[in-house]
């Protein structure tokens, strides 16, 4: 039996070399997408040739040479070459620019701020990690098609935005590097604490992030934060084996068997930490987090942990990154350093933060602190609530188990969850009412816990949930939820828990209207895209409904008479629209008047009537059109919210 499967050898070598190859080609052809395609050609050539010729002695060099040759061929083909250019192409092949800069440039471009976060991670894993779309898709539990589209779109965006290839310097370099660090840590965390699915960890992703981090630290050795991120990841990864119990459940840090921590990785982490300190500069967020990880790694037992030091480090971190999650971790550290009451006070200051509303670790931490304070009943409730909020199955089971381990004298009387279900299950309610009531009660149960004894529910608790959840909503919404609570109380014979909630006045405040002068300012802007300009002018001049205008087809238009048929009525316009429309149509003769910029992805198939039969583009959607108008008019609106399209028709 042959030991070496050629195909697998090719892909292994590819994974090791692809970043360098693509990076070098990018310098030659100045286009990420093209560089990757040419490099892929070399991979295909290897897959075709190596099975018969055997694996070459130096497979990496073979791939590199073949890919560069393709790039030179491409450059020759795409230009009508003079002798001089011929020499240039030859020179490119020979040129040995610093390889490190090429790879760093590729990293910065893959994580460029013009790309969405998801696109950055996909591009980084693809171009720097050499992963296939299938592998990336498996790691993020999506389909390969989604990843392929994401990458294709990212390449297109980079090309359209004309992202420069030069290495930035100074502050720009620091900013761009921080985006790379963020992407790498995101990949690591997706592997380390899988946010969804059944497994708690996807180790492949952690390893990939570690590789990328080490690579970056090598490419940008002056960057303290790069070394610090590596230190943080190495030390966190050292606990991989210890943090998962025999049946896949999470084991908390203080309960882990420290003998199972990987000392090799810890040592690597410490070494990276030293390099970070040598690089100097004020401590950044990754350095502080790594320092916290070092504190844990240095404690021989959980009891030996220097919690006061950790609490101090979190105090510094909270200054740099004042996110609710950092504040929550700080509360945990305080609870350990200065007792559960201290921790609980900090946690309770977070319970009204809307961003943590559905974050399962908040009730989980609260439950922990409450249990240590001997407030078992409340602790149990919090663990159940945490379980209902997490999306990870292993974690959910663990949280339920923690709740069940707490001995409580079983509360008499029904629970909130039970009562809510009974309330909604009555026969005398209409479907719409059940739906509306259900929204209110589900949110109450999520926020307060299904297991909360109904008798202990207080108006204060209800008031807090209302403030966190619906504090910012329109008066009507607020009042609707309020009246649900009142009906529920009446039905359950409770005292009125909506007592603390004022009914809000429902003045039908119309959305703000742009002033005519602002409209003039809008029309005079030179940078308005033609489609938007035409649409907005048409809406303004015709005073027709937005839906009616967006549903217009070119066949409906009567350009000479400046009108179009919609249903039984006419949409009419004046001179500005009449001037713009022919430009917008640009020779198109059928299909939607207003079409989107892009063709729909294969996953979306609009109705044929909403597709331009010639370009394949779909009809511009109301949402998109509205979004664009709001974005553009944000600058005009004193409240900075932007205006809605329907406001255009009510202007003189």
The conformation of residue 557, written as its DSSP 8-state character, comes to: E
**334 is a contact residue toward another protein (CB under 8 A):** no
Shortest distance (Å) from residue 242 CB to another protein: 10
Using the contact rule CB under 8 A, the part of the chain among 109-117, 262-270, 277-285, 392-400 near another protein is 262-270
Q: Which residues, other chains included, contact 206 with Cβ-Cβ below 8 Å and sequence gap of 6+?
A: 188, 191, 192, 233, 237, 240
**101 is a contact residue toward another protein (CB under 8 A):** no
**61 is a contact residue toward another protein (CB under 8 A):** no
**Between the CA atoms of 297, 302, 306 and 312, what dihedral angle is there, to the nearest 10 degrees?**
80
**193 is a contact residue toward another protein (CB under 8 A):** no
Tally the residues of the chain. 652
β-bridge partners, 611 = 618
Out of 86, 199, 218, 342, the residue judged to bind another protein by CB under 8 A: 218
Alpha carbons 70 and 235: distance in angstroms, whole number: 42
Using the contact rule CB under 8 A, the part of the chain among 4-12, 37-45, 247-255, 474-482 near another protein is 4-12
Alpha carbons 628 and 616: distance in angstroms, whole number: 22
Binding mask 41-60 for another protein (x = CB under 8 A): ----------------xxxx
Shortest distance (Å) from residue 311 CB to another protein: 31
The conformation of residue 349, written as its DSSP 8-state character, comes to: T
**435 is a contact residue toward another protein (CB under 8 A):** no
**8 is a contact residue toward another protein (CB under 8 A):** yes
**268 is a contact residue toward another protein (CB under 8 A):** yes
Alpha carbons 250 and 210: distance in angstroms, whole number: 22
Shortest distance (Å) from residue 443 CB to another protein: 44
Q: Which one, of 150, 155, 186, 180, lies nearest residue 167 by Cα?
A: 180
Task: Closer to another protein by CB, 18 or 633: give it.
Answer: 18
**243 is a contact residue toward another protein (CB under 8 A):** no
Alpha carbons 532 and 549: distance in angstroms, whole number: 12
Out of 204, 414, 500, 606, the residue judged to bind another protein by CB under 8 A: 204
Out of 46, 119, 183, 215, the residue judged to bind another protein by CB under 8 A: 215
Shortest distance (Å) from residue 58 CB to another protein: 7
Alpha carbons 441 and 466: distance in angstroms, whole number: 11
Q: Which residues, other chains included, contact 288 with Cβ-Cβ below 8 Å and sequence gap of 6+?
A: 313, 316, 317, 320
For residue 336, report the phi and psi dihedrals to the nearest 5 degrees.
Answer: -80, -40
At 91, which helix (H) or strand (E)? helix 83-94
**15 is a contact residue toward another protein (CB under 8 A):** yes
**126 is a contact residue toward another protein (CB under 8 A):** no
Shortest distance (Å) from residue 394 CB to another protein: 22
Among positions 275-314, residues that touch another protein (CB under 8 A) are none
Shortest distance (Å) from residue 95 CB to another protein: 22
Task: Closer to another protein by CB, 210 or 557: give it.
Answer: 210
Out of 105, 214, 239, 402, the residue judged to bind another protein by CB under 8 A: 214
Task: Closer to another protein by CB, 210 or 645: give it.
Answer: 210
- DSSP-based three-state secondary structure for 283: coil
> For the purposes of burial, counting CB atoms within 10 Å of the CB of 407, is it exposed (0-12), middle (13-18) or buried (19 or more)?
exposed
At 517, which helix (H) or strand (E)? helix 516-523
Out of 182, 199, 249, 262, the residue judged to bind another protein by CB under 8 A: 262
Task: Closer to another protein by CB, 19 or 522: give it.
Answer: 19
Q: What is the 3-state secondary structure (H, E, C) of 599-635?
A: CCCCCCCCCHHHECCCCCCEECCHHHHHHHHHHHHCC
Alpha carbons 203 and 191: distance in angstroms, whole number: 6
Out of 12, 253, 459, 494, the residue judged to bind another protein by CB under 8 A: 12
**211 is a contact residue toward another protein (CB under 8 A):** yes
Task: Closer to another protein by CB, 297 or 612: give it.
Answer: 297
The conformation of residue 304, written as its DSSP 8-state character, comes to: G
Residues interacting with another protein, by CB under 8 A? 3-5, 8-9, 11-13, 15-16, 57-60, 204, 207, 210-211, 214-215, 217-218, 241, 260, 262, 264, 268
């Amino acid at each position: 039996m042959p030991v070496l499967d050629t195909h697998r050898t090719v892909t292994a070598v590819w994974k090791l070399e692809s970043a360098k190859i693509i990076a070098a080609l990018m310098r030659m052809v100045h286009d990420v997408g093209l560089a990757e395609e040419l490099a892929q050609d070399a991979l295909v050539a290897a897959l075709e040739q190596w099975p018969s010729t055997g694996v070459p002695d130096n497979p990496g060099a073979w791939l590199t040479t073949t890919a560069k040759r393709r790039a030179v061929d491409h450059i020759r083909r795409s230009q009508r070459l003079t002798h001089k250019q011929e020499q240039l192409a030859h020179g490119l092949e020979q040129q040995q620019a610093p390889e490190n800069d090429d790879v760093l440039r590729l990293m910065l471009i893959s994580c460029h701020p013009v790309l969405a976060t998801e696109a950055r991670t996909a591009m980084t894993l693809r171009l720097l990690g050499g992963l296939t779309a299938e592998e990336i898709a498996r790691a993020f539990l999506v389909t390969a098609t989604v990843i392929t589209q994401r990458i294709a779109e990212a390449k297109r965006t980079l090309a359209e935005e004309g992202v420069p290839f030069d290495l930035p310097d100074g502050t720009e370099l620091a900013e761009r590097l921080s985006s790379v660090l963020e992407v790498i840590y995101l990949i690591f965390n997706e592997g380390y604490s899988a946010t969804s699915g059944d497994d708690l960890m996807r180790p492949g992703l952690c390893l990939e992030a570690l590789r990328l981090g080490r690579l970056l630290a090598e490419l940008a050795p002056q960057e303290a934060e790069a070394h610090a991120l590596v230190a943080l990841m190495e030390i966190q990864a050292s606990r991989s084996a210890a943090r998962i119990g025999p049946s896949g459940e999470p084991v908390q840090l203080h309960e882990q068997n420290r003998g199972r921590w990987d000392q090799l990785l810890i040592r690597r982490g410490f070494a990276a930490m030293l390099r970070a300190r040598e690089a100097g500069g004020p401590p950044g967020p990754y350095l502080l987090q790594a320092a916290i990880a070092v504190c844990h790694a240095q404690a021989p037992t959980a009891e030996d942990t220097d919690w006061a030091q950790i609490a101090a480090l979190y105090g510094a971190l909270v200054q740099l990154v004042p996110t609710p999650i950092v504040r929550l971790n700080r509360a945990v550290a305080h609870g350990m350093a200065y007792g559960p009451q201290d921790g609980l006070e900090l946690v309770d200051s977070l319970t009204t933060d809307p961003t943590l509303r559905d974050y399962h670790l908040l009730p989980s931490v609260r439950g922990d602190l409450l249990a240590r304070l001997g407030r078992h009943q409340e602790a149990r409730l919090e663990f159940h609530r945490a379980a209902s909020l997490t999306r990870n199955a292993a974690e959910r089971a663990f949280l339920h188990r923690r709740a069940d381990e707490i001995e409580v004298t079983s509360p008499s009387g029904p629970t909130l969850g039970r009562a809510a279900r009974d309330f909604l299950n009555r026969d005398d309610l209409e479907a719409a009412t059940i739906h509306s009531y259900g929204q209110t009660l589900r949110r109450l149960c999520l926020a307060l816990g299904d297991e909360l004894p109904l008798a202990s529910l207080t108006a204060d608790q209800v008031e807090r949930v209302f403030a966190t959840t619906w504090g910012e909503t329109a008066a009507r919404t607020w009042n609707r939820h309020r009246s649900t609570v009142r009906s529920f109380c009446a039905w359950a014979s409770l005292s009125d828990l909506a007592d603390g909630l004022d009914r809000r006045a429902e003045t039908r405040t119309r959305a703000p209207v742009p002033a005519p002068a602002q409209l003039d300012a809008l029309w005079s802007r030179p940078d308005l895209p033609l489609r938007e300009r035409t649409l907005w002018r048409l809406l303004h001049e015709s005073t027709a409904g937005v839906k009616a205008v967006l549903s217009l087809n070119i066949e409906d238009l009567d350009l000479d008479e400046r009108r179009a048929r919609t249903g039984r009525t006419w949409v009419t316009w004046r001179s500005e629209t009449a001037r713009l429309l022919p430009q917008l149509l640009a020779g198109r003769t059928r299909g939607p008047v207003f079409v989107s910029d892009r063709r729909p992805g294969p996953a979306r198939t609009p109705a044929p009537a909403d597709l331009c039969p010639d370009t394949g583009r779909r009809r511009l959607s109301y949402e998109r059109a509205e979004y664009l108008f709001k974005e553009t008019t944000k600058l005009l609106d004193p409240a900075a919210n932007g205006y809605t399209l329907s406001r255009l028709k009510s202007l003189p």
